[in-house]
Structure 1
Amino acid sequence: MHTRTHTDVDEQVVARAKGPTTLRQVIAAVIFLLIVAAVAFGGSLASTGNVDGWYANAEKVPWDPPNAVFGPVWTALYALIALAGFLIWRAGFRMGGPNAARSALALFVTQMVLNAVWTPIFFAGYPVIGAAAWWIAAVVIVALIVVVVALAVSAAKWSRIASWVMVPYLLWLCFASTLNIGIIALN
């Protein structure tokens, strides 16, 4: 039988106080980048044939930007999203224990799932189920906005930078929601 000594407890406190190793941080950063890249890739697959198809012929709001704007904006936003996830993970890292920021990370995962499903629903869903896809996508993007707000608030406890980089993402989502609702209203 092993009894805990004062030294054992001290070593555990020191281990938890230490952050992740550089290698572990690099691996985590790559994982966060791969997650957002997978979401971006899935979105591009779902939108590719439809942007020049039904979407090109749909009535849009006057503030709808040219299609060439979306790629660079989303690339920058996905980089910020990956950065936020990484910063939250790193701040909550505990050696030998669960990540202390797991609730914020759960919000991160939830917003990534909602982000991943919006594009296929909106673009690829329309040829399959018609205008109902736009309504479903509108519900998804509103839910995504709510989750991103919750993530920004939750992230502030762990990383102010992670919290603040959610702001451009949130602003873009609000803008994108007007485009989604505009499609519904005008078509």
Structure 2
Amino acid sequence: MKPATVLGTTAATAVTAFAGSLASREADSRWYRSLRKPSFQPPAAAFPIVWTALYADIAVTSAAAIDELTERRELGARRKYVTALAVNLVLNGSWSWVFFKAGRLVPATVVAALLAASSADLVRRTADAVPLAGAAMSPYAAWTGFATVLSGRIAQLNG
């Protein structure tokens, strides 16, 4: 991988992580603590560990895909990949703002579902470029799918 590409994808995921973490501070709020949560809710300590690993994974696997598409001179596919990555990261960072900051449970579930669909598409695009990188990114799609179910159940329990 080219250092400039890894730096770019790392910066993009770091900005997303930072933006999401600003809103996620509300996880200690009275409002969030008062919400009914399903039995399959992971412990709070799991979230920063999982998300840190996933952001690192996204940065590396995306860089591999972007570099491969560049090397193949598939510039249209590269442009579409970068756009898909950007959309994905915006959805990713947005969820925390809709859920924690705005307290909008149903819209947060919609954002989570859009993020899960976007993540699955990003995994597909990554696998098309670099199959091993696509496989390495697949936990991201699984986690965002799980997050959609979790968000939906929280919305249902508190609706």
Do they fold alike, i.e. is TM over 0.5?
yes
Deviations 1:122-178 (A, max 9, x none): 10011xxxxxx1111111111111112222222222111221122101111121112
Deviations 1:82-124 (A, max 9, x none): 1121011110115999465222222111111111111111100
Instruction: Label 1:183 to 1:158 Cα distance change in 2 as closer, same or farther (>3 A).
Output: same
Stretches of structure 1 that go unaligned for 5 or more consecutive residues are 1-21, 127-132
Matches within 5 A, 1:159-174: 159-174=130-145
2:126: which partner in 1?
Answer: 155
Contact kept, 8 Å, 1:137 with 1:180, in 2: the verdict is yes
How many corresponding residue pairs?
157
For 1:142 and 1:95, locate their aligned partners in 2 and report how far apart those are by CA, in whole Å.
32
Stretches of structure 2 that go unaligned for 5 or more consecutive residues are none
For 1:177 and 1:150, locate their aligned partners in 2 and report how far apart those are by CA, in whole Å.
16
TM-score normalized with structure 1 length: 0.77
Contact kept, 8 Å, 2:38 with 2:153, in 1: the verdict is yes
Give the alignment's Cα RMSD to 1 decimal: 1.9
One-letter code of the match for 1:52? D
Greater relative CO, 1 or 2 (CA 8 Å, sep 6+): 2
1:51 correspondence with 2:51: no
TM-score normalized with structure 2 length: 0.90
- Higher normalized helix content (fraction of residues): 2
For 1:39 and 1:163, locate their aligned partners in 2 and report how far apart those are by CA, in whole Å.
20
Instruction: Label 1:97 to 1:154 Cα distance change in 2 as closer, same or farther (>3 A).
Output: closer
